[in-house]
Amino acid sequence: MSAPGYLDALSFARSGASLEGELRADQLPRLQSNLTSDDAAVQYRIVGIVEAGRPALSLWIEADVRLTCQRCLEPFRQRVELENVLPVARDEAELARWETDDPLVDALVADDRLDVASLVEDEILLSLPVAPRHPEGECGAGFQA
């Protein structure tokens, strides 16, 4: 499967376009370095929207990844299901104004060559736990939280 390529974030957001596909772990090297198996398949959909008067990218991501439990050091399956809306600022000055209004705003600065695979990879990496562990009661180390 080929990489999804690039898009013009601001034009894409304003147009209401959509893009969906699948990525493999070998197309996401930073994520791959966190996995115990290369068989991860990532489904994604990106839709251009206008939210609260701002152009934005609506992201939907699903994946099953295998991480290493930091208690017992055995692999386990982690389901990743993400939905996020990222407003697209025209430039750094506009983003700074948005951050003044809302210091927790999660937004992108317009990029006419936004790497889709990197965007998907970033969102997954941000969602992963700092210290991955088996779900409660499933760890082979016998630890109780």
> Does 144 map to a domain?
no
* Contact (CB, 8 A) for 67 and 34: yes
> Does 122 map to a domain?
yes
Strands (E), 30-129: 41-51, 54-68, 75-89, 108-109, 114-115
Q: Is the pLDDT of residue 137 over 90?
A: no
Question: What are the pLDDT digits (tens) for 60-71?
Answer: 999 999 999 998
Question: What are the pLDDT digits (tens) for 89-107?
Answer: 999 999 999 999 998 888 9
> Does 136 map to a domain?
no
Q: Mean of the pLDDT values across residues 111-135?
A: 92
> Does 137 map to a domain?
no
> Does 87 map to a domain?
yes
> Does 145 map to a domain?
no
Residue pointed to by tokens 């008067």: 53
Domain range for 13: 6-127
Sheet of 41-51: strand order equals 18-24, 41-51, 54-68, 75-89, 108-109
pTM of the model: 0.86
> Does 73 map to a domain?
yes
pLDDT at 25 (0 to 100): 86
Question: What are the pLDDT digits (tens) for 14-48?
Answer: 999 999 999 998 899 898 888 887 778 899 999 99
- Distance, in Å, from the CA atom of 46 to the CA atom of 13, rounded to the nearest integer, reads 9
What rounded mean pLDDT belongs to the chain? 89
pLDDT at 145 (0 to 100): 47
For the chain, what is the domain count? 1
> Does 32 map to a domain?
yes
